[in-house]
C-alpha cells in the first residue's frame, strides 16, 4: 500500500469521526461534557475503543502501523461505519477484507417467536447459551447500538469502554451480576466451546478478569432493576426492569425484555388499563 493511500484513508477516517454525534453515545457527555461542535476528538475515540491515542492518531495521519482486527473493529464500531466503510478501512490499512463474523445459530427463532420479539414496544431480544444474539427488535437496537453490529452481550457489557459509560454503577450493578451468570454457566457447561471463548475474551480485560474471578453472586437477571443512560437524553438516568424468560423447547436460550421501571404498576392498574 502506497503512502498516499494511507494518507487518503486517514482523511476519510477523520471525516467519519467528525460526523459522530456525541449524544448518540449514552453516558459520554455525562463523563466528558458537551461540546458546541459536532463530532468526536481523537482522544474521545481512543477512550471509546480502549486503545492508546497514539495508535488512533497514527491511523488518521496515515502512519504505517500493524493494526489488529480488534483495533479496526473497535474503530468501526465506535464510528458506526457501514459495511462498505468497514471494508474500505480494512482494505486500505491491512490490505484485506475483514474476517467473517461469527455466525449465530438462529434455529430457535421460528416465525412466531420472531413476531413476538418484534411486536414488543420495549427493547426485546433473544440470547443463546453463549450470550450471542440471534434476534432483537428495533427498540433494542435504538437503546443498545452494539446489537446491530453482532456484538456478544457479555463481551460488550464486561469489556467494552462504551458499556462503562452507558451502564450506571457499572461494576456493582451490572458487571458483578453478569460475570456471576457467566461464571455459573461455565461451571455448568465446561465443554461448551463458545462459552469458553467468551470467558477467555472477558479475562483478557484486567478489570473484567478480577470481577469474573471473584466468584458467584447471583444466578439470573429476572426482575433486576438497574439504571442506564440512553441516546440523546444527556445526563438523564433511566431505571429499567429486566424480564427474563426461557422457551420450554430449549431452556439454554433466553428471551430478555427491558421495561422502563416507571411504567411498571401494580396488577390491578394493569388490568384496568387492559
Residue with cell 454525534: 21
Let me know if residue 229 belongs to a domain.
yes
pLDDT at 99: 86
Structure confidence by residue, pLDDT tens digits, 133-143:
999 999 999 99
CATH of the domain at 201: 3.30.450.180
Q: What is the pTM of this model?
A: 0.88
Rg (CA), the chain: 20
Shared domain for 136 and 258, answered yes or no, is yes
Question: Do the domain assignments include residue 220?
Answer: yes
Total domains in the fold of the chain: 2
Report the distance separating Cα 57 and Cα 183, nearest Å: 37
Instruction: Please give the span between the terminal C-alpha atoms of the chain, in angstroms, as a whole number.
Output: 64
Domain that includes residue 46, residue range: 3-94
> 67, 94, 121 — which closes off a domain?
94
Instruction: State whether the Cα torsion 224-225-227-231 is positive or negative.
Output: positive
Residue 105 placed within a domain: no
Q: What is the pLDDT of residue 102?
A: 76
| pLDDT of the residue at 15 | 96
Query: Same domain for 156 and 47?
Result: no
The rounded distance, in Å, linking the Cα atoms of 194 and 180 is 17
**183 and 232 inside one domain:** yes
State residue 271's pLDDT score: 54
| Dihedral, CA of residue 37, residue 44, residue 158 and residue 248, to nearest 10 | 30
244 in a structural domain: yes
**CATH label of the domain that carries residue 64:** 1.10.260.40
Give the model confidence (pLDDT) of 185-235 as tens digits.
999 999 999 999 999 999 999 999 999 998 766 667 888 999 999 998 888
pLDDT for the residue numbered 107? 80
Q: Are 130 and 192 in contact (CB under 8 A)?
A: yes
Per-residue confidence (pLDDT) for residue 38, from 0 to 100: 74
Is-contact 5 92, C-beta < 8 A?
yes
Length of the chain: 274
* Cα dist from 177 to 23, 200, 209, 224, whole Å: 28, 18, 14, 10
52/74 Cα distance (integer angstroms): 12
Alpha carbon distances (Å) from 208 to 69, 154, 174, 195: 21, 10, 11, 15
d(CA 145, CA 161): 13
Instruction: List, run by run, the mean pLDDT of 10-residue segments along the chain (274 residues).
Output: 77 95 90 78 93 93 91 94 94 90 81 94 95 96 90 96 96 94 93 96 96 78 92 91 90 92 70 55
How many beta carbons lie within 10 A of that of residue 77, not counting itself? 21
- Of the three residues 44, 59, 94, the one that is the final residue of a domain is 94
Cα(136)–Cα(143) distance, integer angstroms: 11
Amino acid at each position: 500500500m502506497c503512502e498516499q493511500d494511507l494518507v487518503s484513508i486517514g482523511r476519510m477516517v477523520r471525516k467519519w469521526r467528525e460526523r459522530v454525534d456525541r449524544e448518540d453515545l449514552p453516558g459520554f457527555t455525562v463523563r466528558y461534557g458537551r461540546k458546541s461542535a459536532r463530532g468526536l476528538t481523537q482522544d474521545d475515540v481512543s477512550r471509546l475503543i480502549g486503545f492508546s491515542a497514539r495508535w488512533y492518531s497514527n491511523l488518521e495521519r496515515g502512519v504505517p502501523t500493524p493494526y489488529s482486527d480488534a483495533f479496526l473493529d473497535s474503530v468501526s464500531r465506535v464510528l458506526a461505519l457501514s459495511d462498505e466503510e468497514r471494508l474500505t478501512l480494512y482494505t486500505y490499512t491491512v490490505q484485506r477484507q475483514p474476517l467473517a463474523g461469527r455466525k449465530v445459530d438462529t434455529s430457535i427463532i421460528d416465525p412466531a417467536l420472531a413476531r413476538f420479539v418484534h411486536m414488543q414496544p420495549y427493547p426485546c431480544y433473544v440470547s443463546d447459551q453463549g450470550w450471542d444474539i440471534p434476534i432483537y427488535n428495533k427498540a433494542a437496537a435504538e437503546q443498545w447500538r452494539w446489537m446491530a453490529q453482532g456484538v456478544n452481550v457479555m463481551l460488550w457489557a464486561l469489556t467494552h469502554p462504551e458499556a462503562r459509560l452507558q451502564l450506571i454503577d457499572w461494576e456493582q450493578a451490572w458487571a458483578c451480576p453478569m460475570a456471576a451468570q457467566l461464571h455459573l454457566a461455565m461451571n455448568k457447561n465446561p465443554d461448551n466451546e463458545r462459552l469458553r471463548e467468551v470467558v477467555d475474551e472477558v479475562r483478557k480485560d484486567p478489570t473484567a478478569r478480577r470481577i469474573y474471578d471473584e466468584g458467584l453472586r447471583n444466578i439470573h437477571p429476572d426482575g433486576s432493576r438497574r439504571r442506564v443512560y440512553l441516546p440523546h437524553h444527556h445526563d438523564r438516568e433511566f431505571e429499567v426492569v429486566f424480564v427474563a424468560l426461557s422457551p420450554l423447547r430449549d431452556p439454554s436460550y433466553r428471551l430478555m425484555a427491558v421495561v422502563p421501571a416507571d411504567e411498571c404498576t401494580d396488577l390491578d392498574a394493569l388490568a384496568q388499563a387492559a
